[in-house]
Copies of this chain bind each other. A is one copy, B any other.
Amino acid sequence: MDKAHEVLIRNLSEHTALAEEDLAEIRALTFTLRDLEPNQDFIRQGDEPKHSVLVVSGMVARYHLLGGGGRQYLAFHLTGDLPDAQGLFIDQMDHGLSALGPASVAFIPHRELFIAFRRRPSFGLAVWRETLLDAAIFREAITNNSARPMQARMAHLFCELFYRARAAQLVRGNRCRMPISLAQLGETLGMAIATVNRTLAELRRSGAMDLREGELIVLRWRDLQRLGDFSPAYLHQKRQSSPEGRR
């Protein structure tokens, strides 16, 4: 019944072998569930975090606020992710968190986490590992937004999200939920909304993918991967199940 705990366990198990004692420790954590509206901000830049967040369902984004009120989206998080383990040791959030589509998250008190880390250091290491994976994704975003042309940049983002969705078992057939607007895509990839639209149109025309009604549809994975110059090594998946095979 406690879906949240199981979601966390599944996600950590992707990268780390957890002992029975770790599982017990995790199951003993107090989670406070909260349902979120689409585009609802639930942690703000400047907040002093006292809780960590676990994505129980839906998609969650991190963003920087810009001078003019605009946003720079930094990363997206799927079911099972701990989007602000980043905030564990930090006095003031340097970025905010918002839901993309409808989502639900669980709040976990930092205090409890630290106690659990002390009792089961291997649990701490597993969470640490997650934060390092996050960092690898950040690094790739730097390269993506700085060094790749617009089309590849966008294709790469979709590759990453699809690949990660697959690992989190959120892909059904060749599609997964992706409730992101063009404006948000622009604020993620550093391009103007008009360009977003034109670039997306190109990708559609290439026949590699489609994005419709909040769903990402991958029609030809290898083509999309090629267009996006995507190689998943940086995601450090244990089992290298790639969406190949489906053309």
Contact = CB atoms under 8 A, between A and B. Distances in A.
Interface of A: 15, 62, 64, 66-67, 70, 72, 74, 86, 88-92, 94-95, 117-118, 121, 124-125, 128-129, 131-132, 134-136, 138-143, 145-147, 189-190, 229, 233-234, 236
Contacts of A139: 62, 64, 74, 94-95, 138
B233 A94 contact: yes
Nearest to A90: B236
Contact of A146 (B72, B132, B236): B72
Interface majority SS (helix, strand, loop, mixed), chain A: helix
Contacts of A146: 72, 145-146, 189-190
Contacts of A236: 90-92, 94
Contacts of A190: 145-147
Contacts of A74: 139, 142-143
A89 B142 contact: no
Nearest to A46: B233
Given A129-B89, A132-B90, A135-B131, A143 B233 contact: no
Closest CB pairs A-B (n = 7):
A146-B190, A138-B138, A94-B234, A89-B129, A72-B143, A135-B135, A145-B146
9 contacts: A64-B140, A90-B132, A91-B236, A92-B233, A131-B135, A135-B135, A135-B138, A138-B139, A147-B190
